[in-house]
């Protein structure tokens, strides 16, 4: 594991994707000449300073992509353990049940790109697993490796074994563009893991809250093979509304007590409906999906 990777080994110009030339003040593109300074935190600011056109092409008149039943599963704790204990809030935010989908670092060095990393809270867990961690965010802080826009990642093609996009996609203006970027920077066989809002309330200038079909469509469009889409088991609309809206910062046990009757009535009504109307899906996944605060997803680059 390399705790301090040589960024210029994989950093590229976000405009033309050519190599960068380091300097005392930052870096410049070897091809287009665009310059990128160090910011007040000493981080290389690789956000594009001028407009960049990107094109998306959609094929109309086709039947919607059928979501494979095997993809729609409920995440379960498989007993995965870290070399050392990590804070509970980090485990929960990471959706700890996703951890078994991290590629094994025992068969050689692995490198992860955490997009929208904020304070890089996943850095220590990733390094504990033997990974080299790189974190980027559109806002600078002492914790990021470099500053960039998820729509135009300044990274070489096919470099990373894993891309994390946790609680990110709902905040992006053009998520299809960003997911295509994630696919581009992944190695063949590399994975994209993340969590995206569904029935969470509006927060932090969120743009798009995605259904499971929206998640599947977006990942498939980027050329990724969808392995899993799961309603986040412990984060339903009731908890999301309480925590992010009605009673922010309330302890979890209080939220559980307040919303226990609502959850109970929901489960009972769903059971009655499924008995009376055979058209109502009886699977637990469908019941959880309709009240999910967010969806977790795993996709692989072929």
Q: Where are the domains of the chain?
A: 7-50, 65-238+291-300, 242-285
The angle subtended at Cα 146 by Cα 141 and Cα 150, nearest 5°, is 100
Which pLDDT tens digits describe the chain residue by residue (302 residues)?
A: 555 678 999 999 999 999 999 999 999 999 999 999 999 999 999 999 888 899 999 888 776 667 777 888 887 765 555 555 666 666 566 656 677 787 777 777 889 999 999 888 888 888 888 889 999 999 999 999 999 999 999 999 999 999 999 999 999 999 999 999 999 999 999 999 999 999 998 988 899 999 999 999 999 999 999 999 999 877 888 888 877 776 666 666 777 777 777 777 777 776 777 676 655 555 677 778 888 999 999 999 99
Q: Would you state the pLDDT for residue 79?
A: 54
Q: Would you state the pLDDT for residue 180?
A: 98
20-23 sheet: strands from edge to edge: 20-23, 26-29, 35-37
Q: Would you state the pLDDT for residue 88?
A: 61
Q: Would you state the pLDDT for residue 227?
A: 94
Q: Would you state the pLDDT for residue 89?
A: 60
Cα torsion for 127, 2, 153, 28, to the nearest 10°?
150
For residues 144 and 125, what is the distance between their CA atoms, to the nearest angstrom? 16
Q: Would you state the pLDDT for residue 272?
A: 74
Q: Would you state the pLDDT for residue 189?
A: 95
Contact 12, 19 (CB under 8 A): yes
Q: Would you state the pLDDT for residue 118?
A: 87
Q: Exposed, middle or buried: residue 274 (CB in 10 Å: 0-12, 13-18, 19+)?
A: middle
Q: Would you state the pLDDT for residue 18?
A: 96
CATH number of 65-238+291-300: 3.40.50.150
For residues 31 and 277, what is the distance between their CA atoms, to the nearest angstrom? 64
For residues 31 and 20, what is the distance between their CA atoms, to the nearest angstrom? 9
Collapsing DSSP states into helix, strand and coil, what is residue 39? Answer: coil
Record the pTM: 0.89
- 122, HSE (Cβ side, Cα atoms, 13 Å): 32
Look at the block and give the residue holding tokens 């665009």: 34
Name the token pair of 107.
Answer: 């068969």
Name the token pair of 155.
Answer: 């990274």
Q: Would you state the pLDDT for residue 45?
A: 97
Name the token pair of 276.
Answer: 């009376």
């Amino acid at each position: 594991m390399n705790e301090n990777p040589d960024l210029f080994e994989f950093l590229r110009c976000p405009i033309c994707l050519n190599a960068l030339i380091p300097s005392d003040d930052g870096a410049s593109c070897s091809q287009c000449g665009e310059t990128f300074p160090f910011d007040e935190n000493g981080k290389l600011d690789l956000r594009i300073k001028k407009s960049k056109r990107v094109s998306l092409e959609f094929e109309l008149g086709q039947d919607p992509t059928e979501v494979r039943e095997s993809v729609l599963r409920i995440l379960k704790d498989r007993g995965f353990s870290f070399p050392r204990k990590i804070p509970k809030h980090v485990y929960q935010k990471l959706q700890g049940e996703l951890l078994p989908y991290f590629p094994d670092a025992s068969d050689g060095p692995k490198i992860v790109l955490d997009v929208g990393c904020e304070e890089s809270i996943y850095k220590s867990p990733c390094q504990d697993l033997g990974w080299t961690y790189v974190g980027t965010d559109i806002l600078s802080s002492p914790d990021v490796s470099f500053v960039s826009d998820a729509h135009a990642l300044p990274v070489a093609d096919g470099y990373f074994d894993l891309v994390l996009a946790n609680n990110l996609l709902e905040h992006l203006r053009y998520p299809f563009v960003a997911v295509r970027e994630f696919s581009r920077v992944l190695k063949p066989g590399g994975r994209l893991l993340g969590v995206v809002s569904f029935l969470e309330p509006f927060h932090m200038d969120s743009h798009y809250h995605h259904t499971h079909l929206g998640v599947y469509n977006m990942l498939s469009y980027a050329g990724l093979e969808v392995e899993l889409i799961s309603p986040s088991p412990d984060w339903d609309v009731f908890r999301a509304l309480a925590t992010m809206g009605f009673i922010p910062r309330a302890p979890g046990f209080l939220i559980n007590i307040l919303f226990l009757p609502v959850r109970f009535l929901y489960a009972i009504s769903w059971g009655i409906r499924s008995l009376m109307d055979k058209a109502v899906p009886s699977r637990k996944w469908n019941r959880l999906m309709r009240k999910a605060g967010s969806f977790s997803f795993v996709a692989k680059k072929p």
